Amino acid sequence: MRHGSEQAPASERDDPPRRAPGPNGARERTAVLLRGASKTYGKGHAEVHALREADLEVPEGELVVLLGPSGSGKTTLLNLIGGIEPPTAGEVVAGGRDLSRLDEDGRTAYRRDTVGFVFQFFNLVPSLTALENVRLVAELTGRGDRERSAAALAAVGLAERGGHFPAQLSGGEQQRVAIARAIAKDPALLLCDEPTGALDLDTGRGVLRVLQDLNGEGRTVLIVTHNAAIASMAHRVVRMRSGRVVEVAVNAAPAPAEEVTW
């Protein structure tokens, strides 16, 4: 990464940082920027370094896959970007905000206004229909109108399934409801932790297709996974090991989700 010395630190700027001009002369906005971000849990002999001095830059509108084995720090990194917890040290900038400087209320507002979360387990309320599950979260963010929630279900291909309860939906359909719930508030940043981990290949491809389509609409999408096959559909692949970012590779020709196999 190159940072011009004439620029103010990211934490002192209101707008998201901009990257240096690319080959076509255009300046790309940066969705996520980490500088020396670390996360430590516990103290003394019980101290665990979950993330160690991570540097990462993600341009707006990219689909990024974070790869690594269990314990590599990828979920911790996602939690810092999502404002779920603050870094112990370093800087995390996302959505134009320096998250390392926000208090708990500030991080709550950031999560509410900027980020959509998708997890491996769908976390749907079993007594609510698909549409009601989407509206529940949308209402908590002040964007709970029925039309917006129905549009989110339509965006993931479930326009006709809004009246069904989770038990009446397949695993892939439940995950798509979870994605609809995440995008109902129209977040700029979509963070996904093992979104296909509980799904078979064909169902997983369908979920990945939805995420790729949402990325095509301009959303920045980060996917944490241990499944290296998913890397082929990413614009950028971040590899992690022992709490460190060990490689960042740019993919000039991301594959369509339908071609991903494992």
Structure tokens at 157: 């291909």
Average of per-residue pLDDT across 81-97: 95
pLDDT in tens, 188-221: 999 999 999 888 899 999 999 999 999 999 999 9
pLDDT, position 16? 44
In the predicted structure, residue 22 carries a pLDDT above the cut 60:
no
Instruction: Give the C-alpha separation, 55 to 53, whole Å.
Output: 7
In the predicted structure, residue 48 carries a pLDDT above the cut 90:
yes
pLDDT in tens, 242-251: 999 999 999 9
CB 182 within 8 A of CB 214: no
pLDDT, position 144? 57
User: What is the pTM for the complete model shown?
Assistant: 0.84
Spell out the domain ranges in the chain: 49-125+187-256
H/E stretch holding 33 = strand 30-41
Q: What is each CA distance from 30 to 57, 145, 175, 189, in whole angstroms?
A: 7, 31, 28, 12
Split at pLDDT 50, 70, 90, the class of 121 is: confident
Split at pLDDT 50, 70, 90, the class of 8 is: very low
In the predicted structure, residue 170 carries a pLDDT above the cut 90:
yes
Secondary structure percentages of the chain, helix, strand, coil, to 5: 35, 25, 40
Split at pLDDT 50, 70, 90, the class of 26 is: very low
Average of per-residue pLDDT across 7-23: 41
Average of per-residue pLDDT across 39-45: 92
From 3-12, 59-68, 143-152, 247-256, the region with the lowest mean pLDDT? 3-12
Strands 63-67 and 30-41: unpaired
In the predicted structure, residue 98 carries a pLDDT above the cut 50:
yes
Average pLDDT of the residues of the chain: 88
Split at pLDDT 50, 70, 90, the class of 143 is: low
3-state secondary structure of 32: strand
In the predicted structure, residue 186 carries a pLDDT above the cut 70:
yes
Average of per-residue pLDDT across 225-254: 96
Q: What is the CATH number of domain 49-125+187-256?
A: 3.40.50.300
pLDDT, position 137? 80
pLDDT, position 253? 95
Split at pLDDT 50, 70, 90, the class of 145 is: low
Above pLDDT 90, what percent of the chain? 74
pLDDT, position 213? 94
Phi-psi region of 261 (alpha: psi -120 to 50; beta: other; left: phi over 0): beta
